[in-house]
Amino acid sequence: MALAVQEKHVTRPVVQLTPAESKALWELSENVVSLLDRSCSFDLSELLPDVPGQVRSALVDFREGTSSSGYLLVKGVLTGDLPDTPQAYGTRALVGHATNGTLALVADVLGSLIGYGDEKNGDLFHDVHPVRGEEDRMENSGSVAFDFHTENVHHPLRPDFLGLLSLRQGHEGTTATRVASVRHAVAHLSAAETAVLRRLRFRSLFPTSFTRGACGERPMTGEHRVLFGNPGREFLRFDSFNTKPVGFEAEQALDALAEALEAVCVEVVLEPGDLMLVNNHIAAHGRSAFTPRYDGRDRWLRRFYSHRAVPGWARLMMPSERVLPATADIQGVF
């Protein structure tokens, strides 16, 4: 079970691995790497029971979605020997690295490790680091402040969970991963604002990570709700950069939501070996700004997505076992 760590009057859900657990998870991860292949057709089900008990129990609890915080921090994950922080986009610098095994195991305990056909060529593991010339991009290659968002807000099959494993902290050691739970934020919203957020009054642009190389304006979804679910068990679909209101009343409600998320924000400066897990339907996340030096020692995280239940019709359209169909093929389904 997760430990409750009190910091600045905020109870934070944290699992601290013992040295023995860290070693056991690393050795298991090394075994998993040999199963990973380009076809994405690997099965880890027989290995999942070998994930150290403390972290496995915490992950099982977390995947049920009952945590009001919407995140879980696992500390003490080994990261092994690392090359310099990449400086170009999409380098795949850690192919065959045991951290891939760790992320695959965690993702498959939570659900199933997945990628997206039209994002990063369907890659299952994403390197999050600054890229020269992309400082202002609202994606994993940028270094400006990245405001609150739920991942892949435009997609009918948004990930249920995402994980961010810190490999290198960066020069300042102060860049924060920011997390804000909608279940905490609703207390800061009026009944009228909440009602508007539950209406089909919002549209979302496709994130730039899905439209690299495309010409013209970015596509946009149909109208959708930002807030849904039963009172007290709310869910969120929101991207501060890409979600647009339809009408003045919706604009005011969206502004109020942004302020409410800021009011309940938890900031975590991830140390190497920290794995931040986020329930993508409960918590929005973001990042504070930092100044990269492009010297091989900049901030570097690895990201994965996990999905609990891909519908059967979508599975029949998937280009490979763990890669979801292109958005254009399923847009408007629901």
Taking the chain (334 residues) in runs of 10, the rounded mean pLDDT of each run is 38 90 97 77 92 95 91 98 93 92 98 94 93 85 89 96 97 94 98 98 95 88 96 96 97 98 97 98 95 95 96 92 90 67
- Predicted TM-score (pTM) above 0.75: yes
Strand partners for 162: 278, 305
Task: State which H helix or E strand residue 334 sits in.
Answer: none
Q: What is the pLDDT of residue 36?
A: 83
Which CATH number is 3-173+271-330 given? 3.60.130.10
Q: What is the pLDDT of residue 213?
A: 80
Integer Cα distance of 114 and 310 in angstroms: 10
How far, in whole angstroms, is CA 193 from its chain's centroid? Answer: 27
Q: What is the pLDDT of residue 334?
A: 59
Q: What is the pLDDT of residue 324?
A: 95
What is the CA angle 131-135-141, rounded to 5? 45
Strand partners for 245: 202
Q: What is the pLDDT of residue 11?
A: 57
> What does the longest C-alpha to C-alpha distance in the chain come to?
56
Q: What is the pLDDT of residue 136?
A: 79
- Asked if 208 contacts 138 with a C-beta cutoff of 8 angstroms, the reply is yes
Q: What is the pLDDT of residue 67?
A: 83
Beta strand 323-324 pairing with 112-116: parallel
Integer Cα distance of 26 and 79 in angstroms: 8
> What are the start-end ranges of the E strands in 17-109?
71-75
- Asked if 137 contacts 249 with a C-beta cutoff of 8 angstroms, the reply is no
